[in-house]
Amino acid sequence: MSNEKDKQLKAHTVDTTQPAALTTNQGLKMAEDEFSVKAGERGPTLLEDFHFREKMTHFDHERIPERIVHARGYGAHGEFELYESQEKYTKAKFLNDTSKKTPVFVRFSTVQGSKGSPETVRDGRGFATKFYTEEGNYDLVGNNIPVFFIQDAIKFPDLVHAIKPEPHNEIPQAGTAHDTYWDFFAQNPESTHMTMWTMSDRGIPKSFRTMEGFGVNTFRLINKQGQSHFVKFHWKPLLGTHSLVWDEAQIIAGKNIDFNREDLYEAIDKGDFPEWELGIQLIKEEDEFKFDFDILDPTKVWPEEDVPVQIIGKMTLNRNVDNVFAETEQVMFSPAHVVPGIDFSNDPLLQGRLFSYTDTQLLRLGGPNFHQIPINAPICPFANNQRDGLHQHQIHKGMTSYHNNGINNNEPHTTPAGEGGFEPYHERIEAHKVRARSDSFLDHYSQAKMFLNSLSQPERQHLTDAFSFEIGKCKLDFVKQNAVNNLNKVDKKLAEEVALRVGAEVPTADEESKETKVSKALSTLDTIKKLDTLSVAVFVTADSDAKQIKSYLKELATNKVNYKLIADRAMKLGDLKVTETFDTVHSTSFDGILVADVAEPLMPPVKDSIEAANRHYKTIGYTQKVQSVLAQTAVKEGEPGIVLVGSDLKDYLNNLVEQRHWARKL
Ligand code: HDE
């Protein structure tokens, strides 16, 4: 597996597993690396010790500023293949040629937390993809939620200040459950729709592999004839869209802050390559004003029932990075990185993003030459008259570095649009200069209500619980009240329920949105459900029937289900090795548990794992042998997803594939 980007990166890769003499950065072989040069064995260190100084100085400068948002992220390499040429809509070559696989690099992230924060916090998730195309890099810098908190980029610093830990005490880390966020929510009601999404199950994805991705902003596709279509981009995970439950997410945030990256790394490492299909929603230029929302407003979805998502290709992530800093940390994305055939709309959020992403790298990556860092470099040739600057790696030979020049035949030359040169879409604009918002952007509640209308009962319950948790964490009563009052403009019942739980006055005004529209695509209840790569903890003891356990494991493996054997201590069961114990893992790390055998008396961590699986609605299999032990827990036989297993796992697997059993009574 080696594509053009892999080959390019290889030229910069240093294989540290090979024998090599330890040298200074000047190539000087060193006879000693453990002791500094001193005046006598017990004396002070001497300034002349250049090796000590170089080693320490390099170490002192190892860190770079973390991203102002999306600091906590994880990346992987892969490929994109196109199902069918899209030349009718775009001249972008990577969307025209089905025979070509385009190398990609993807970085997933949380938005709010710092670089070391837990990964299962309630938040949006970044889903940024760099396509290394023959016409230059194209970046689709998206999120796992299709709308954004604000409509105009000028409010981004305000939003981020409100979301991040409060400045006077730097609390809380990586979450919106605090006063400044809910104050922002109430004072800036355009954030209502996205907040409905973050408070829903979408705010706590189970895995990067089970998240959708959305370009959010409206772009344009331009074909060879110069015709434009408005477009929104979608990534649809082939494993379906699955989430955690909040209690589970909070436990994992303590037990395994690397939960999502570990899942991605291990899946790729094992060869279970995650896949997403790329979809596009298109609106013809002449249909721009046919909708009851403004298609340039990034707080609005284009309901899939009205504007169908056309699936055009597939992305597969198939290689972990060799070095997280060099690749995942140094990668930079920008929505301004487009190729001919993809262009911008006047979406005011997008317009501001086009500036911000490059600007922030000047600080983060320390100068204007970040495009030369291997992970960021295009795989096609690049040349212009930009010169010098910090960290310049190229040696530009020749006399000229200006356009137009006569000395060098005006090289590097421009390329006419018809031959692959980029030119902006010839949009006609006639306007007064204003600092204002279009009236067509003023409906902040209809789509928030449509989202609510579209949720299944359990999803709606989760949403109510999440609002109650988050607003309940506010310390200022009027912030709670204003937040509840804003919710009342979406749905009276929701506002009432939350008000009661957080101790606010129940709003009396009859001002809820009258929107009745439902968009099925917004619910994840009927998402794709597959056994592939689900994980099961099989509980065993030293006395378990190894033959039967082996047969269970074989059946799990045949169905592509991953498993781990868990017991109260690490041991061998026949020729099976039990490496995990109730001290090291918990049921929150698995999609289901199979209680084949447990030691008695039932120890608290074992009981806790079983009961957590139960209240997280997971499939629990149990053998007759443990029936009496199970009776000592909160698990109720006969409830959905509580399965008595005999010699095979057929029934168990039929339940496991459902992943959650929402009908279970707790
Ligand atoms: Fe970003 N965003 N953003 N954003 N964003 C950044 O760029 C910004 C927005 C998104 O893994 C920053 O390199 C502004 C929407 C992702 O490296 C920064 C506005 C969407 C990532 C920035 C937005 C995103 C970023 C911080 C509003 C979904 C991580 C570090 C006008 C479509 C990319 C960096 C990675 C990162 C600015 C809104 C997605 C500061 C000004 C909407 C996935 O430039």
Would residue 142 be called left, alpha or beta, if left means φ above 0 and alpha means ψ between -120 and 50 degrees?
A: beta
- Most informative mutation of 64, 68, 69, 337 for ligand 1 (most atoms within 8 A of CB): 69
427-436 long-range contacts (CB < 8 A, ≥24 apart) are 427/228, 427/346
- Most informative mutation of 212, 356, 358 for ligand 1 (most atoms within 8 A of CB): 356
Is 183 strand, coil or helix? Answer: helix
Residues 368 and 514 in one domain: no
319 CB near ligand 1 (under 6 Å) = no
Here the CATH number for the domain that contains residue 583 is 3.40.50.880
The answer to whether residue 639 sits within a structural domain is: yes
- Residue 70 catalytic? yes
For 647, residues 6+ apart whose C-beta sits below 8 A from its C-beta are 548, 551
Is 94 strand, coil or helix? Answer: helix
Q: Which of 356, 376, 396 is the last residue before a domain boundary? A: 376
The answer to whether residue 201 sits within a structural domain is: yes
Q: Is 353 annotated as a binding residue?
A: yes
pLDDT recorded at residue 260: 98
The answer to whether residue 443 sits within a structural domain is: no
* CA of 143 relative to ligand 1 center, distance in Å: 9
For the record, the structure tokens of 424 come out as 């902006």
Q: Is the ipTM of this complex over 0.95?
A: yes
Q: Is the torsion defined by CA of 236, 304, 293, 218 positive or negative?
A: positive
Here the CATH number for the domain that contains residue 321 is 2.40.180.10
193 CB near ligand 1 (under 6 Å) = no
352 CB near ligand 1 (under 6 Å) = yes
DSSP single-letter state for residue 205: B
The answer to whether residue 206 sits within a structural domain is: yes
148 CB near ligand 1 (under 6 Å) = yes
Residues 602 and 488 in one domain: no
Low-confidence ranges of the chain (pLDDT < 50): none
The answer to whether residue 381 sits within a structural domain is: no
Residues 364 and 462 in one domain: no
CA nearest 209: which of 236, 233, 232, 248? 236
Q: Which residues pair with 411 in a beta bridge?
A: none
Q: Is 53 annotated as a binding residue?
A: no
* CA of 357 relative to ligand 1 center, distance in Å: 7
Tally: H helices and E strands in the chain: 16, 18
Q: Which of 330, 348, 376 is the last residue before a domain boundary? A: 376
Residues 222 and 165 in one domain: yes
* CA of 240 relative to ligand 1 center, distance in Å: 25
How far, in Å, are 167, 464, 536, 564, 616 from residue 556 at the CA level? 50, 36, 8, 11, 21
142 CB near ligand 1 (under 6 Å) = yes
CA of 107, closest atom in ligand 1: 11
pLDDT recorded at residue 26: 98
Residues 146 and 224 in one domain: yes
Q: Which residues pair with 468 in a beta bridge?
A: none
> Which residue puts its alpha carbon closest to atom 19 of ligand 1?
353
Determine the structural domain holding residue 479 and report its residue range.
456-522
Is 393 strand, coil or helix? Answer: coil
Q: What number of CA atoms fall less than 13 Å from residue 17's CA on the CB side?
A: 1
Residues 477 and 343 in one domain: no
Cα 428 to Cα 408: distance, rounded to the nearest angstrom: 36
Residues 126 and 206 in one domain: yes
pLDDT recorded at residue 1: 59
Q: What number of CA atoms fall less than 13 Å from residue 150's CA on the CB side?
A: 22
Here the CATH number for the domain that contains residue 467 is 1.20.1370.20
For the record, the structure tokens of 176 come out as 């919106």
Q: Which of 348, 376, 404 is the last residue before a domain boundary? A: 376
Domain count, the chain: 3
> Which residue puts its alpha carbon closest to atom 29 of ligand 1?
70
> Which residue puts its alpha carbon closest to atom 42 of ligand 1?
148
pLDDT recorded at residue 2: 86
Residues 582 and 644 in one domain: yes
DSSP codes of every residue in 333-347? --TT---TTEEE---
> Which residue puts its alpha carbon closest to atom 25 of ligand 1?
70
Residues 197 and 322 in one domain: yes
Q: Are 133 and 105 in contact (CB under 8 A)?
A: no
- Most informative mutation of 66, 70, 325, 373 for ligand 1 (most atoms within 8 A of CB): 70
CA nearest 537: which of 487, 579, 479? 579
The answer to whether residue 238 sits within a structural domain is: yes
CA nearest 310: which of 78, 86, 79? 86
Residues 237 and 328 in one domain: yes
538 CB near ligand 1 (under 6 Å) = no
Q: Is 67 annotated as a binding residue?
A: yes
DSSP single-letter state for residue 506: P
353 CB near ligand 1 (under 6 Å) = yes
> Which residue puts its alpha carbon closest to atom 38 of ligand 1?
353
* CA of 648 relative to ligand 1 center, distance in Å: 49
Phi, psi of 60 (to 5 degrees): -60, -25
CA of 298, closest atom in ligand 1: 42
Q: Which position among 143, 256, 369, 614 bears the catalytic label?
A: 143
DSSP codes of every residue in 593-652? EEES---SSPPHHHHHHHHHHHHTT-EEEE-GGGHHHHTTSS--TTSTTEEE--S--HHH
Residues 461 and 602 in one domain: no
Q: What number of CA atoms fall less than 13 Å from residue 653's CA on the CB side?
A: 20
Q: Which position among 3, 51, 70, 488 bears the catalytic label?
A: 70
Residues 263 and 312 in one domain: yes
Q: Is 122 annotated as a binding residue?
A: no
360 CB near ligand 1 (under 6 Å) = yes
* CA of 142 relative to ligand 1 center, distance in Å: 8
The answer to whether residue 7 sits within a structural domain is: no
Q: Is the torsion defined by CA of 538, 541, 542, 547 positive or negative?
A: negative
Residue position matching structure tokens 């290689």: 319
The answer to whether residue 619 sits within a structural domain is: yes
Q: Is 357 annotated as a binding residue?
A: yes
Q: What residue type is assigned to position 390 of the chain? A: L
